């Protein structure tokens, strides 16, 4: 086991050391770095190899310089897991103390080497089969004017923006008591920051961002970098992949008076909203057969309100070669607005044959659409007659389900026809009459739906599948099928339906936001009335409710309950055991790019930092934290 200069190493020396070599290839500056590496490093091995190590220290290192002895264990800094801050590093080490610092780092390897596999097995994905060598880095210390961390993608909300968190002096302050870093955002050449920053400093800060983009090109994705600025030059200390990145679910309501505050019981949501989205998808798939998604990926129900997944819709529109003329993509769902809201991009030419039918205002398309409407009107009448016959005969559950599927199929066809007419015709007197015809057919379908629910609800009650016939409105298609095959017995269906009834009435007048991030239901506005609300900076994703537990550096951390939201004073790695036990985390100070923040994201732990007024939150208080907006709600009493 020997100490070699970084530039002459060539074996599997751990991700951290290999990534430094990548930075050097980019032309960016790295402090003089030496690598001690072996298959597995332990204190025992270092003690056995002491004479060789001491000789290498004597031959390579300079007497009057200070060094940073950094961990570089083989499993660190992988794509899935960073192990940020788990293993020790020692700063400002003199040459005569290098050996002792190596032993200290190796001790952290001993403590975590096998424990980590068991400790993190439920939260981290670790590939122990790869034969990557352990290493310890010895880097010349740079006397920093500023030290910082940079992410080339926002790790909290997944936005395509870069973030710097920095402090004056040593970077270890980013994880120490009482330090809130200077935070700077960089998006498409524009800087955003709250603190007052001198114009001279903005010059080298811009250079940090530019060099990071240069380094990122040598990696396959977003990177997490540590750097220092000594007043003249920028030095890169380490780089690793940004972990725990995933596309955020971003839901939005349709922003129109017609659909604002639309609330739908499960049956209506399943029938109307899924039919509407299916129609939109059928048109899209007829133009681009490679589109592979379903209605459940596009529309979700939050507190019985329909919300649309903007990212999925946007991806489909881009595939079709469409460009929104404004931010509200969901305008495409509103009647008669398509032409005003979207324009074609060059990508549309790949689907020229598919689009040509819809964008040419010709008589053939119009006649075809009107013919479809006539057939639909006849089909609705036939379904109504069939329903009357079935109800007076000896029906089965599957006869009714067949009727349900036919009704939904006709709704989809009606919506498709409406979209085709919108795409093919400008607003004129003929178009208005066509829309009026569509509305009249829709009213006939609604009459058939009411008739269906009356007959089928009565049938389900008589056959002990529902307690009340009118309860059918709280049941969607899949749930119906489970009731019919007796997968759900009556007592369970009563319990589930009563739950829906209570929730529906409770949320009938609930105020919901127009936008929802994440798949967890948002915290309702009325829950905030007469409550205390605090605000901080999100460190990770998620929403959670629980009881408050205060933890200080001197407290035991083994008895934290899974429903407790833990408050810690700052983002020191001494609090790392909390991350595997708590339901959520709140910090008085600390950075969103700190080691604690990285690990919280990797372990899917909702966390908020820099919470103003956090000292007013008492032990045992019941709180809700919304990490998408950085909000803390403290509830009264019990």
Nearest to 459 by CA among 406, 383, 501, 398: 398
Alpha helix stretches (DSSP H) within 2-154: 15-25, 43-48, 50-60, 98-112, 115-119
**Dihedral sign from CA coordinates of 370, 372, 373, 375:** positive
405 C-beta neighbours (distance < 10 Å), count: 11
Distances (CA, A) of 163 to 190, 344, 527: 12, 34, 33
Task: Name the phi and psi angles at 300, rounded to 5.
Answer: -130, 155
| Bridge partners (DSSP) listed for residue 426 | none
Integer-rounded Cα Rg, in Å, for the chain is 31
Query: d(Cα 156, Cα 265) in Å, to the nearest integer?
Result: 33
pLDDT value, residue 123:
37
Token pair of 306 as six digits: 């329909």
Angle at CA 223, nearest 5°, toward 116 and 595?
40
Token pair of 156 as six digits: 């909290």
Residues 295, 432 contacting (CB under 8 angstroms): no
Return the CATH architecture of domain 531-634.
3-Layer(bba) Sandwich (3.50)
**Below-70 pLDDT ranges, the chain:** 8-12, 112-132, 176-178, 255-261, 323-344, 353, 356-366, 424-429, 525, 637-638
Distances (CA, A) of 208 to 170, 202, 211, 462: 17, 10, 5, 73
Give exposure, 452-463, as e/b (b: 16+ Cβ within 10 Å): bbebbbebbbee
- Count of residues for the chain? 638
pLDDT value, residue 94:
97
The domain ranges of the chain are 1-141, 142-247, 257-304+352-506, 531-634
Domain 1-141 matching CATH 3.30.360.10: the answer reads no
pLDDT value, residue 114:
39
191-217 pLDDT, tens per residue? 999 778 999 999 999 999 999 999 999
Query: d(Cα 413, Cα 282) in Å, to the nearest integer?
Result: 10
Token pair of 276 as six digits: 């509407």
- E-strand ranges in 172-329 read 182-187, 190-193, 223-229, 234-241, 250-252, 299-302, 305-309, 322-324
Residues 365, 375 contacting (CB under 8 angstroms): no
Query: d(Cα 479, Cα 474) in Å, to the nearest integer?
Result: 10
Residues 434, 370 contacting (CB under 8 angstroms): yes
Hey, what CATH topology would domain 142-247 get?
A: D-amino Acid Aminotransferase; Chain A, domain 1 (3.30.470)
Token pair 């007197």 in the structure block, residue: 429
**Cα 126 to chain centroid, rounded:** 21
Distances (CA, A) of 406 to 376, 558, 617: 11, 58, 56
pLDDT value, residue 512:
82
DSSP code at position 360 = S
**Do 531-634 and 1-141 have the same topology in CATH?**
no
């Amino acid at each position: 086991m020997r100490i070699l200069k970084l530039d002459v190493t060539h074996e599997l020396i751990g991700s951290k050391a290999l990534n430094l070599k990548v930075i050097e290839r980019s032309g960016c500056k790295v402090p003089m770095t030496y690598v001690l590496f072996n298959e597995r490093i332990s204190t025992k091995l270092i003690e056995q190899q002491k004479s060789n190590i001491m000789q290498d220290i004597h031959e390579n290192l300079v007497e009057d310089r200070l060094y940073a002895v950094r961990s570089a264990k083989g499993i660190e800094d992988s794509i899935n897991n960073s192990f940020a801050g788990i293993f020790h590093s020692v700063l400002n080490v003199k040459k005569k103390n290098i050996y002792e610092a190596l032993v200290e780092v190796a001790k952290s390897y001993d403590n975590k080497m096998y424990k980590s596999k068991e400790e993190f097995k439920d939260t981290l994905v670790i590939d122990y089969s790869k034969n990557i060598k352990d290493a310890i880095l010895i880097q010349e210390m740079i006397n920093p004017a500023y030290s910082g961390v940079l992410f080339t993608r926002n790790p909290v909300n997944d936005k395509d923006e870069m973030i710097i968190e920095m402090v004056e002096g040593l970077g270890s302050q980013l994880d120490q008591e009482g330090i809130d870093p200077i935070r700077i955002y960089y998006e498409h050449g524009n800087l955003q920051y709250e603190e007052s920053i001198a114009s001279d400093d903005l010059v080298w800060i811009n250079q940090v961002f530019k060099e990071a983009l240069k380094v990122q090109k040598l990696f396959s994705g977003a990177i997490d970098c540590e750097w220092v600025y000594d007043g003249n030059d920028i030095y890169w200390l380490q780089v690793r992949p940004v972990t725990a990145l995933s596309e955020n679910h971003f839901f939005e309501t349709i922003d129109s008076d017609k659909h604002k505050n639309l609330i739908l019981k499960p049956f209506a949501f399943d029938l109307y909203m899924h039919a509407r989205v299916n129609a939109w998808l059928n048109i899209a798939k007829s133009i681009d057969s490679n589109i592979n998604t379903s209605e459940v990926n596009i529309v979700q129900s939050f507190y019985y309100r329909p919300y649309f997944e903007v990212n999925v819709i946007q991806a489909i529109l881009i595939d079709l070669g469409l460009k929104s003329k404004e931010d509200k993509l969901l305008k495409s769902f509103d009647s008669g607005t398509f032409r005003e809201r979207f324009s074609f991009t060059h990508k549309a030419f790949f689907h020229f044959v598919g689009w040509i039918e819809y964008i040419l205002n010709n008589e053939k398309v119009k006649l075809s659409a009107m013919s479809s409407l006539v057939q639909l009107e006849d089909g609705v009448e036939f379904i109504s007659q069939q329903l009357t016959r079935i109800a007076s005969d000896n029906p089965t559950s599957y006869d009714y389900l067949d009727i349900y599927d036919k009704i939904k199929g006709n709704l989809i066809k009606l919506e498709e026809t409406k979209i085709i007419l919108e795409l093919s015709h400008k607003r004129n007197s003929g178009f208005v009459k066509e829309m009026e015809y569509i509305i009249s057919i829709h009213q006939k379908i609604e009459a058939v739906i009411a008739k269906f629910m009356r007959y089928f609800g009565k049938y389900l009650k008589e056959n002990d599948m529902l307690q009340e016939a009118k309860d059918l409105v709280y049941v969607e298609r899949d749930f119906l099928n489970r009731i019919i095959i007796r997968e759900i017995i009556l007592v369970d269906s009563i319990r589930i339906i009563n739950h829906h009834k209570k929730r529906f009435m409770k949320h009938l007048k609930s105020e919901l936001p127009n936008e929802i991030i994440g798949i967890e239901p948002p915290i309702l506005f009325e829950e905030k009335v007469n409550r205390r609300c605090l605000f901080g900076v999100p460190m990770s994703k998620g929403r959670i409710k629980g009881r408050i537990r205060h933890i200080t550096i001197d407290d035991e951390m083994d008895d934290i309950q899974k429903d407790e939201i833990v408050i810690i004073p700052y983002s020191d790695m001494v609090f790392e055991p909390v991350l595997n036990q708590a339901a959520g985390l709140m910090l008085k100070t600390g950075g969103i790019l700190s080691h604690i923040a990285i690990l919280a994201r990797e372990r899917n732990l909702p966390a908020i930092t820099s919470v103003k007024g956090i000292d007013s939150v008492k032990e045992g208080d019941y709180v809700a934290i919304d990490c998408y907006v950085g909000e803390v709600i403290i509830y009264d009493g019990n």
